[in-house]
């Protein structure tokens, strides 16, 4: 079946601009996660959705970052006033449930470059 | 101790060699562990899950030592296609019954012809 999809695959923007990154999880998966991966690092947790609500946003670095999942399926990560330090790979993952043994399936990521 | 710590490598090994990666974790309450594989500029993909003392899948063996808070991944008879970064992953409780994944920085493996 279809896996997690993310668009765009690459996004280049200028410092100070607003960007939106989209994630389409595996159908039927209630848990959705956003991670950010910088070069040479492992992915770092940003935010977790259970259904439509953000159950844990403790990983968001500051209030320029926001994410929504209005209908419990597609999610959008929004970054305001982008900074060069926001450049990274943004990964979305989904899982059927949110337990410690539930496999998270990752999308191909959006590579964000802020000039 | 960092939450999840791995030797970054790189490990350069010849085809057919056996190679082992180590990972230590700080949360003694962790119950499950994963090894993910990540190819260059691609997303992480689950390689193995470890819930008890260990798990074996073909050429890959994962072992868990809870007393030492240590996980290992052993790859036997290395193939060129095994070249990738291997990420040690520990689910962390976020409260309210949910779990996020905490990743190590990854260990880079290059298998050389």
pLDDT average per 10 residues of sequence, chain A (115 residues): 92 98 95 95 94 89 96 95 97 88 92 97
What is d(CA B18, CA A76) in angstroms, rounded to the nearest whole number? 43
Q: How many CB pairs under 8 A join A and B?
A: 71
Copy the structure tokens of residue A96: 């059927």
**Residue A102 confidence (pLDDT):** 83
pLDDT at A53: 86
B32 contacts in chain A (CB < 8 Å): 100-101
Q: Is the pLDDT of residue B9 over 70?
A: yes
Nearest CA-CA partner of B55 in B42, B73, B41 = B73
Q: Which of A35, A100, A106 sits opposite B99 (nearest CB)?
A: A100
- Shortest Cα–Cα distance, B2 to chain A (Å): 13
In this predicted model, which residue has the larger pLDDT, B106 or B51? B106
pLDDT surpasses 60 at B96: no
Min distance A40 CA to chain B CA atoms (Å): 7
Nearest-angstrom CA–CA distance, A95 and A111: 22
Mean pLDDT rounded to a whole number for chain B: 91
Q: Which residues of B touch A111 (CB under 8 A)?
A: 41
pLDDT by residue (tens digit) across A33-64? Answer: 999 999 989 999 999 998 888 888 999 999 99
What is the number of alpha carbons within 13 Å of residue B110 lying toward its C-beta? Answer: 8
Q: Are A90 and A43 in contact (CB under 8 A)?
A: no
- A69 neighbors A95 (Cβ within 8 angstroms): no
């Amino acid at each position: 079946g279809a896996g997690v999809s993310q668009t765009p695959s690459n996004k280049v923007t200028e410092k100070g601009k607003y960007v939106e990154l989209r994630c389409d999880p595996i159908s039927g998966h209630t848990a959705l996660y956003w991670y950010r991966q910088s070069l040479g690092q492992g992915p770092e947790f940003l935010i977790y959705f259970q259904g439509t609500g953000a159950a844990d946003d403790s990983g968001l670095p500051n209030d320029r970052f926001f994410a929504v999942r209005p209908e419990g399926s597609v999610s959008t990560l929004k970054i305001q006033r982008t900074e060069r330090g926001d450049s990274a790979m943004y990964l979305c993952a989904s899982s059927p449930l949110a337990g410690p043994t539930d496999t998270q399936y990752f999308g191909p990521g959006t590579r964000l470059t802020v000039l | 101790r960092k939450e999840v710590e791995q030797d970054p490598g790189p490990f350069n090994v010849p085809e057919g060699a056996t190679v082992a990666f180590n990972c230590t974790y700080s949360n003694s309450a962790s119950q499950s562990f994963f090894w993910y594989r990540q190819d260059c500029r691609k997303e992480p993909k689950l390689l193995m899950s470890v819930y008890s003392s260990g798990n074996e899948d073909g050429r890959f063996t994962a072992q868990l030592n809870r007393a030492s808070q240590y996980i290992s991944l052993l790859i036997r008879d290395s193939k060129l296609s095994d070249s990738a970064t291997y990420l040690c992953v520990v689910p962390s409780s976020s409260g309210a019954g949910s779990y996020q994944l905490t990743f190590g920085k990854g260990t880079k493996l290059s298998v050389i012809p």
